[in-house]
Amino acid sequence: MSSIDGASVRKLVVACDAGMGSSVMLASQLRRELRTCPVTIEHHPVAAIPADADIVLCQAALAERARVGAPGAVVVGFRMFLGDPEVARVVAAVKQGGVVVGTTGG
């Protein structure tokens, strides 16, 4: 399982598949929450994750696809777009330091 120190994160990608807009809202929320941190937040389809992503946040069901598409990134799967503890854990690690460990997925 991969990991990264939150202070080292420079690019966080919210990856999606359904195109329903929820992941775009999550990316926007993360930009607000992490606005004081030197982190770029981007939104991409799970099939087009940039190679320079440090962390990929995606629904747990997409985690394995994200790992294949972004083998150098720490992939964190979540279940809820709002209020998910995995997302909160990533935000806290980036803001306060701490290790982000990838999840095992779906």
For helices 85-96 and 22-33, the axis angle rounded to 10 degrees is 30
Q: Which residues contact 79 (CB under 8 A, 6 or more apart)?
A: 59, 60, 86
Q: Mind spelling out the 3-state secondary structure of 3-18?
A: EEEHHHCCEEEEEECC
Question: Would you name the residues annotated as active-site residues?
Answer: 16
Alpha-helical segments (H) within 10-84: 22-33, 63-69
